[in-house]
Amino acid sequence: MHGFADKLGTLMRNVATTFGRSLTLLLVVFLASPLRSEEPVTAKVKPGQVIRWTGSSLLSCSLGDESWDPVDEACWYPLDLDVTGDLELVRRSTGGVASRRVQVVDYPYPEQRLQVEEKYVSPPADQLDRIAKERAKVDALFEQRTPRRFTLPLASPLAKLPAGGRFGSRRVFNGVPKSPHSGADFSAATGTTVFAVADGTVALAEDQYYAGKSVFVDHGGGLVSMSFHLSQMLVDEGATVKRGDPIGKVGATGRVTGPHLHFGLRWLGARVDPELLIAQSKPQDIR
């Protein structure tokens, strides 16, 4: 009897171990497999768009290698102007993992032809080093991930926001095609006050070759706002700003055709249409 009990005990332990291993293996296979890769396309989206997927008890949102926190009971997915193909949007909630497939459509933004000073189309050799340094500094800024300090929708950068924007337009300067318009242009008189769209830290405030006098604010959560071509910067690098604080004055510095505010947003590295997140926020909802 004693021996039988021993054998039974050993057998049960073996079964338990084998079962445990199988379960682990099963879990590993499940986690390693692509998430419902054959699922149908939920929505068609434009590059430069922001997608909102609302839900409850959300823990995190992810796309590719990057994960971030939900905002207001929703996962928001900023899509860069250059994004193409099908995307797998993933979110985790207390209920588990879910995903949606969206298809980025080939959307040719309108062409915009502009005349500017020739030095902004073919910069002089002695400015190339400066331009490269400014670009490197700005690119590093877009990589920063600090805790989120913004709420949505964002405040307006101008007391009265005129229509327009022309985000994404394929721009041709003096007949030469250049990179697409990564922000929105709002016409306003020189001296008009520009406001912070959310709480944040002034990450950069300097006079740049193309952007002119410009203020970059890091709002945390991977969101950076940019105000270009200012006549005056009212904040210093490193300063803490609150939503609605004056940060600069509209001007015509850098590569411009006249006074206006160029306002841009980078969210998790993506160039997105700022008008989708300001005031009457208009992201594309999916279910």
Binding stretches for Zn ion (CB under 5 A): 183, 185, 262
Minimal CB distance to Zn ion: which residue?
Answer: 262
* Cβ proximity to Zn ion, 66 vs 82, nearer residue: 82
What's the min distance (Å) between Cβ of 134 and Zn ion? 16
Specify the residue for token string 């020739």. Answer: 118
- Nearer to Zn ion among residue 222 and residue 254 (C-beta): 254
Q: To the nearest whole angstrom, how small is the minimum distance from the Cβ of residue 201 to Zn ion?
A: 23
Asked whether 256 and 213 are in contact (CB, 8 A), the reply is no
Residue number with CB closer to Zn ion (183 or 248) = 183
Q: Please say which residue, 180 or 200, places its beta carbon nearer to Zn ion.
A: 180
* CB-neighbour burial class of residue 275 (10 A; exposed 0-12, middle 13-18, buried 19+): buried
User: Of 75, 39, 261, 240, whose CA–CA distance to 152 is shortest?
Assistant: 75
Q: What number of CA atoms fall less than 13 Å from residue 243's CA on the CB side?
A: 13
Give least dist CB 183 to Zn ion, A: 5
Residue with smaller CB distance to Zn ion, 185 or 218: 185
SS3 track for 13-36: HHHHHHHHHHHHHHHHHHHHCCCC
CB of 41 to Zn ion, least distance (A): 32
What gap in Å lies between CA 87 and CA 61, rounded to an integer? 13
CB 210, min distance to Zn ion, A: 10
